[in-house]
Structure 1
Amino acid sequence: MFTPARYIVLDDEPSELDALIDALHILGAPCIGIRFDPLGLPDPTLFAGVRILFSDLHLVQAQPAGVQHYNTLASLLDRCISEQHGPYLLVLWTSHEHERAGLTQRLEELLPAPKRPLAVLALDKTTFRNGNAWDAAGLRQAIREQVTSMPQLQALLSWERDVLAAANETLALLGDLIPDDQRRVGTYPGALDRILSLLAVAAAGATNAPNDRKGAVAAALSPLLSDRILNRPQDPHGNALWEQAVTFQPGPTLTAPQKARMNRMLHLAVPPGEAVSRNDWGAIIPLDEVRLTDPAMTARFGFTTAHLRDQEFKLKQTRRLEGQLIVLRGGANCDQAQGQAGPIPLLLGMLVPSGALSTDKKRSIAIQLCEEKFELAGYDEPVSLLIHARFVITIMSEELQHWPPATLRLREQLLSTILVHVATHAMRPGTLRF
């Protein structure tokens, strides 16, 4: 129900913690304060949305200065920041540049790359404190300068706000559908239930909607949300911020591994960070040893595994055993979303290291060799995806549940490109001519 705070203040002194929280609240930042207790470490869920973390360097006063303080903060970040967290900024309370540099180096040594802060900045508490009194105005200005010192992070935070605003506007659209005479405490819930139920049935069908009510409503609202995000009103301040953040500076050409990593982000859903199941539209399911035997492959596809690798997908002889034969869950998106009865279409394909593909042999036009190459665990080089339009099988949902779990899911853009290729190949005319 509550949105995780994007600004967190961490301190072991309650009085200083309260003063910093008040300064951020006056700035309009959705902030929470956490008093550090070495005997009771904070709940990691409190850090689920953090983008800027303000932290005292000396969280345990009894510790000797230096590396022990660095280790304490590193241990907390390792516990509370998830591998899938995304960029965040660490603002440190210290007047000593060498401590900021020392902490930065220690975090790079101890933390996995996904958990490291985007940058470590520093503020000096003593600049804003006179005895028990605080220079709140000066503190607010210093915090503002620190937050805005990295326009790229500020732009991403702005985009995140736009997403939240778009979600709020989407909810407002739902509210507009409820008649005025039903906008009462006693009748509003039932009227909203009716609207949500109608949307769920429209998206997933009357039979399937009760099986995944949240997913059905999300499918109906996602296009509205996406449109609201893409078409936010322009404002001069926001435009100026993005001009600072995205400057198109010339740089070296992306390496093949860098391209593969970006393609994975754009086109692949990868568990456990994202949900993937066998029935999902675009699910990639590996063929296990039982289904790769010659009798099983011949019964389903008419050829053995060795023949498919050599003659259809055209792997190099020296690397003909590399890669993985898979099936891709195809069909129509609406059939999958609405749980339509009938066999599920599966397209035969391969995930294979790009260097294992032969460049000397011409592949059939039935094969879609995706130009996008991907970074995948278990491979030492970028991976290519090939889908064969001629080798399509169908299977009932009950049988599919006994197949290996899906390991990936193609996002809609690339999946649609593949399905258009398959449909075009199936519909191509055969013209006789002399």
Structure 2
Amino acid sequence: MFTPARYIVLDDEATELATLVDALHVLGAPCVGIRFDPHELHRPDLFTGLRVLFSDLRLVKAQPAGVQHYSTLATVLDRCVPESHGPYLLVLWTSHENERAALAQRLEELLPASKRPIAVLGLDKVQFRHGVTWDAVRLREAIRARVGSTPQLQALLNWERDVLAAANETLAIIGGLVPDDQRAIAQFPGALDRVLSLVAIASAGSANAPNDRKGAVTAALAPLLSDRISNRPQDPEANALWEQAVTFPQGQELQAAQKARMNRMVHLAVPPAEPVSRLDWGAIVPLGDAQLSDDAMYARFGVTADHLRDREFKLRPERRTEGQLVVVRGGAACDQAQSQSGPVPLLLGLLVPSTALSQNKRSPAVHVCEEKFELDGYQEPVSLLIHARFSTSMVAQELQAWPAATLRLREQLLTMILVHVASHAMRPGTLRF
């Protein structure tokens, strides 16, 4: 219910902490203050939304100056900054450039790359203090100037702000579907329940919506949210900022591992973050030992698993045992959404390290997805191959005895695969002399 704070103030003195937090609140910053206690490392959950951290350099006054202060702050960041965290800025209360540089170097040495700040900046407290109060206006301008010195971070912060605004507009659209005559306090929750229920049914069908209510509503709201994000009002100041932040420098393209990570996020739903059922449209279900036996493979596909690896998918001979044979739940999206009766259509595929594929030409029936993926259990990017000629089907009860689904293809990639399969099946044959 509560959005994590994007600005955090860390200090060991309660008075200093309170006055700075008050000053940031005056600016409208979603800020939380944390009083440093050397005997109790702080709750990591407070840092999940961190974008700018203001910290005193000397969190333990009894420590001698220098490395121990730097190590103390590094310990806090190592414990509290999440492993998968976006970029954040560290603003240090110091007027001494040598201290700022020494801390930055120490953080490079002690912190894993995923937890390091994008930059360490320095601000002198004396410039913004009038007795026990802070000059909020001067502080705001100084913060803007410091953050503006890293336009890439400033652009991402503005983009994050746009996402929050778009989410608010999307909620307003849903709330606006409640008729005016049902907006009394006593009636509004029930009326909103009806709206959300109808939206879920429209998205996932009346049979499936109750099985994943949040997922059904999310699937309906996601296009609205995406539209609001993509079509924000034009802002000359924001446009100028993005021109500074994204300059298309000459150099290498994204590395293979970076591409694989992006493809995973864009095209795959991965449990447990996103639950996946065997019957979901696009679900990827591995073949287990029972399904891979020669007898079972002959009965279902007319060939063995070794034949598929060697002759159809064409792996390198020395790597023919790598990867995993899978089936992908295909068919029409509406059939799955409405839990239509009948066998479940499945496409035979292979998940395998990309370098294990031979250069030999494959049948036109085999679709090798251009996207390569980062997957758990593999040391290198993974390719997905789909064979249009080896499809099968089974009733839902039989599929439930197979291994659990490990992934789900999102709609864009799944649709491309289904187009390939349909095009191959419908290719015309002509008689020529």
The answer, yes or no, to whether TM exceeds 0.5 is: yes
What is the CA–CA distance in structure 2 between the aligned matches of 1:319 and 1:214, rounded to whole Å? 42
Report what 1:431 is aligned to.
Answer: 430
> What SS is found at the alignment partner of 2:216?
helix
Q: Which runs of 5+ in 1 are unaligned?
A: none
Letter aligned with residue 69 of structure 2: H
> Among the aligned pairs, what percent are the same residue?
73
Point out the more displaced range, 264-273 or 16-25: 264-273
- What TM-score do the two structures reach when normalised by structure 2? 0.92
Work out the CA distance in 2 between the residues paired with 1:275 and 1:116: 31
- CA shift, 1:277, in A, is 4.1
Instruction: Tell me, in whole angstroms, the C-alpha distance in 2 between the residues paired with 1:273 and 1:65.
Output: 44
Amino acid at match of 1:28: G
Q: Deviations along 1:242-262, whole A, 9 cap, x unmatched?
A: 111111122224443443333
Shift of 1:308: 0.5
- Given that 1:203 and 1:338 are in contact with CA atoms closer than 8 Å, whether structure 2 keeps it comes out as no
Residues 37 and 184 of structure 1, relative CA distance in 2, 3 Å threshold: same
Are the counterparts in 1 of residues 26 and 136 from structure 2 also a CA contact under 8 Å? no
For residues 211-267 of structure 1, give each alpha carbon's deviation from its aligned partner in whole angstroms, at most 9, with x where no partner exists.
Answer: 222222222222222211111111211211111111112222444344333333332
Which residue of structure 2 lines up, in the alignment, with residue 384 of structure 1?
Answer: 383
One-letter amino acid matched to 1:278: R
SS of 2:206's partner is helix
C-alpha distance 182-37 of structure 1, shift in aligned 2 (>3 A)? same
1:156 shift after superposition: 1.3
Measured against aligned partners, the alpha-carbon deviations of 1:19-58 in whole angstroms (never above 9, x if no partner) come to 2212222322211111122333332222221111112222
Q: RMSD across aligned C-alpha pairs, in angstroms?
A: 2.2
- Aligned partner of 2:334 in structure 1 is 334
Which amino acid in structure 2 is aligned with residue 220 of structure 1? A
SS of the counterpart of 2:387? strand
Count residues with an aligned counterpart: 433
* 140-149 or 390-399, which deviates more: 390-399
State the SS of the aligned residue for 1:193.
Answer: helix
**8 Å contact from structure 1 (residues 6, 51) kept in 2:** yes
Whichever residue aligns with residue 420 of structure 2, its letter is H
Q: Which amino acid aligns with 1:432?
A: L
In the alignment, is the contact (CA less than 8 A) between 1:325 and 1:348 conserved in 2?
yes
Q: Counterpart in 2 of 1:218?
A: 218
Structure 1 distance, partners of 2:169, 2:162, is 10
Partner residue, 1:56: 56
How far apart are the structure 1 equivalents of 2:110 and 2:405? Answer: 33
Question: Cα deviations across residues 287-333 of structure 1 (Å, max 9, x unaligned)?
Answer: 23332222222222211111111100011222222222222222223
Query: Is the alpha carbon distance of 1:102 and 1:401 closer, same or farther for their aligned partners in structure 2, counting shifts above 3 Å?
Result: farther
| Segment drifting more, 260-269 vs 346-355 | 260-269
Structure-1 separation of matches of 2:96 and 2:338? 61
Seen in structure 2, the aligned counterparts of structure 1 residues 202 and 270 have a Cα distance that, compared at 3 Å, is closer
Change (3 A) 1:141 1:266: same
How far off its partner does 1:430 sit? 2.2
- 1:84 corresponds to: 84
**Is 2:23–2:135's contact at 8 Å kept on the other side of the alignment?**
no
Give the alignment's TM-score, normalised by structure 1: 0.92
Work out the CA distance in 1 between the residues paired with 2:166 and 2:379: 40
Q: Which ranges in structure 2 are unaligned for 5 or more consecutive residues?
A: none
Whole-angstrom CA distance in 2 between matches of 1:141 and 1:355? 52
Verify: 1:409 aligned to 2:408, yes or no: yes
For the Cα contact (< 8 Å) 1:369–1:385, is it kept in 2? Answer: yes
1:266 aligns with 2:266: yes
Q: SS of the residue aligned with 1:122?
A: strand
After TM superposition, which residue ranges in structure 1, 4 or more long, deviate above 6 angstroms? none
Classify the secondary structure of the residue corresponding to 1:79.
Answer: helix
Q: For residue 364 of structure 1, report the CA deviation from its aligned partner.
A: 0.8
Between 1:68-77 and 1:235-244, the stretch displaced more is 68-77
**CA distance, structure 2, for counterparts of residue 302 and residue 66 of structure 1:** 72
Name the SS for the 2:322 alignment partner: coil
